[in-house]
């Protein structure tokens, strides 16, 4: 028997199930308009919320850092990879987030898989929202703590678990996304914080889609809800609104001391490259200097949503610039996305198993970099596709 038969069978199964796909190729920067597979299309699918991925100031900072610091950090942080740029980024982020300390990681995913397993252990319990991001799920799996899952944003279910199980454990860690990426809804953080106090639990919020988007100058969901000092671990990404790559946790100094000894991505994976670190520093500075970028993002998001709703589309329950345009059936969702692409607008169709069956949607990610013309062109493409497919 051929030794790769098992792999060929897996790939064949993807094809049989109709879920096999080629990756689209973007022949240039991730801008408001991109050249995807050789065609100019309006990009409504990036996480580059503020347009910082191509901002001249951010790009210049990256180039200058290469000249001064080289292309790579050369080692893990605990050996000689801890360039002063990384320390500078952490101090700046701590100031921005108004927290005691920040630890930076190579990505948001790395941060979750490194932090969760470092802070809870056997004898502890993790309680996690059922719709938490895959990197949280992986972080939880890597931990030796016991695990429990509560229904999405259902604080009664969370309290039930706390009531039944709190006394059996030393530490309990409640983990939630700040903003859920598929629907754009916010976690019920006020209530979670209240329950955590009542049941003596720690709180962990992954705010990847909230940082740079919600709160004053994009300080995040915790700032937006006025909960400074109430959340024990606030994770953010530098890969989405900040426009580059990286992740971080904002927390207490004592936690930072521990993580610098035990967070495995810091010990066993090379540190952020200087270009990325310097570019993120510049992005965060830009946010701290002005609300112009976040204001533009929200203005664009409101304009787009208002016009789609006027046309009769269902834009779901989003409270953020994430705009899921609900289509329903899986095949129709993919057909809708294809019709948009033919009209020069790229919006990925998201279907089961990423979202529940029958809840297929074309998820629009609005950015401050979109011009009014981009949005108008996209709105008319939605109208055309919506009418021809009987969605509106
Ligand atoms: C995108 C995302 C991440 C991963 O961030 P990267 O920096 O891209 O690795 C982690 N958590 C949540 C909730 C996310 O949405």
Q: Is the CB of 108 under 6 A from ligand 1?
A: yes
For residue 109, the ligand 1 atom closest to its alpha carbon is 9
Q: What is the pLDDT confidence band of residue 18, given thresholds at 50, 70 and 90?
A: confident
Report DSSP letters for 313-379, one per residue.
---TT-SSSEEEEEEESHHHHHHHHHHHHHTTEE--EE-TTTS-TT-EEEEEE--TT--HHHHHHHH
Of all residues in the chain, the percent with pLDDT exceeding 90 is: 97
Q: What is the pLDDT confidence band of residue 21, given thresholds at 50, 70 and 90?
A: confident
The CA 237 to ligand 1 mean position distance, Å, reads: 6
- Nearest CA residue ID for atom 10, ligand 1: 108
The pLDDT of residue 120 is: 98
Report DSSP letters for 108-127, one per residue.
HHHHHHHHHHHH--TT-EEE
The pLDDT of residue 116 is: 98
The CA 350 to ligand 1 mean position distance, Å, reads: 17
Q: In whole angstroms, what is the distance from residue 26 CA to residue 47 CA?
A: 15
The pLDDT of residue 232 is: 98
- Nearest CA residue ID for atom 1, ligand 1: 208
For residue 246, the ligand 1 atom closest to its alpha carbon is 7
Low-confidence winner among 8-22, 63-77, 194-208 (lowest mean pLDDT): 8-22
Average pLDDT, integer, range 320-338: 95
The pLDDT of residue 140 is: 98
Question: 148 is written with which tokens?
Answer: 């429990």
For residue 206, the ligand 1 atom closest to its alpha carbon is 13
Question: Which residues fall within 8 angstroms of residue 286, CB to CB, at 6 or more apart?
Answer: 52, 55, 57, 58, 293
Q: Choose one of 104, 108, 185 to mutate for the ligand 1 pocket test, by most ligand atoms within 8 angstroms of C-beta.
A: 108
Average pLDDT, integer, range 79-91: 98
Average pLDDT, integer, range 130-141: 97
Helix axis angle, 274-289 relative to 292-310, nearest 10°? 80
Mean pLDDT estimate for the chain: 97
Residues taking part in catalysis: 181, 209, 240
pLDDT tens readout for residues 298-328: 999 999 999 999 999 999 999 999 999 999 9
Q: In whole angstroms, what is the distance from residue 151 CA to residue 323 CA?
A: 23
The pLDDT of residue 20 is: 87
Does position 39 have pLDDT exceeding 90, yes or no? yes
In terms of Cβ atoms closer than 10 Å to its own Cβ (0-12, 13-18, 19+), residue 306 is exposed
The pLDDT of residue 19 is: 79
Q: Is the CB of 133 under 6 A from ligand 1?
A: yes
Average pLDDT, integer, range 289-293: 96
H or E stretch at 298: helix 292-310
Does position 1 have pLDDT exceeding 80, yes or no? no
Does position 143 have pLDDT exceeding 80, yes or no? yes
Q: Is the CB of 129 under 6 A from ligand 1?
A: no
Average pLDDT, integer, range 73-77: 98
The pLDDT of residue 55 is: 98
pLDDT tens readout for residues 246-264: 999 999 999 999 999 999 9
Average pLDDT, integer, range 169-188: 97
Does position 164 have pLDDT exceeding 90, yes or no? yes
């Amino acid at each position: 028997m051929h030794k790769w038969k098992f792999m060929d069978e897996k790939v064949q199964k993807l094809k049989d199930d109709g879920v096999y796909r080629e990756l689209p190729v973007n022949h240039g920067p991730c801008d408001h308009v991109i050249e995807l597979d050789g065609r100019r299309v309006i990009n409504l699918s990036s996480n580059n919320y503020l347009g910082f991925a191509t901002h001249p100031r951010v790009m210049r900072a990256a180039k200058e850092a290469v000249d001064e610091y080289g292309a790579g950090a050369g080692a893990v942080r605990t050996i000689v990879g801890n360039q002063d740029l990384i320390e500078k980024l952490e101090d700046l982020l701590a100031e921005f987030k108004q927290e005691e300390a920040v630890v930076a990681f190579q990505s948001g995913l790395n941060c979750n898989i490194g932090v969760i397993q470092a802070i809870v252990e056997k004898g502890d319990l993790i309680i996690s929202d059922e719709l938490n991001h895959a990197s949280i799920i992986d972080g939880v799996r890597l931990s030796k703590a016991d695990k429990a899952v509560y229904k999405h944003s259902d604080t009664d279910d969370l309290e039930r678990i706390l009531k039944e199980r709190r006394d059996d454990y030393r530490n309990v860690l409640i983990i939630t996304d700040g903003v859920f990426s598929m629907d754009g809804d916010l976690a019920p953080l006020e209530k979670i914080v209240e329950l955590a106090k009542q049941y003596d639990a720690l709180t962990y919020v992954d705010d990847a889609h909230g940082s740079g988007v919600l709160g004053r100058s994009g300080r995040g969901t915790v700032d937006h809800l006025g909960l400074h000092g109430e959340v024990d671990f606030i994770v953010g990404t530098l890969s989405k609104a900040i426009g580059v790559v990286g992740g971080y946790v904002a927390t207490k100094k004592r936690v930072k001391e521990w993580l610098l000894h035990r967070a495995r991505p810091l010990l066993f994976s090379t540190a952020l490259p200087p270009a990325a670190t310097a570019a993120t520093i510049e992005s965060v500075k830009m946010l701290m200097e002005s609300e112009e970028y976040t204001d533009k993002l929200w203005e664009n998001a409101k304009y787009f949503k208002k016009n789609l709703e006027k046309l009769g589309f269902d834009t779901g329950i989003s409270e953020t610039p994430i705009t899921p345009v609900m289509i329903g059936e899986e095949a129709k969702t993919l057909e809708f996305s294809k019709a948009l692409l033919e009209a020069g607008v790229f919006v990925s169709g998201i279907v089961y198993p990423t979202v529940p069956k029958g809840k297929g949607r074309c998820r629009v990610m609005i950015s401050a970099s979109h011009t009014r013309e981009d949005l108008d062109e996209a709105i008319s493409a939605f109208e055309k596709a919506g009418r021809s497919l009987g969605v509106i």
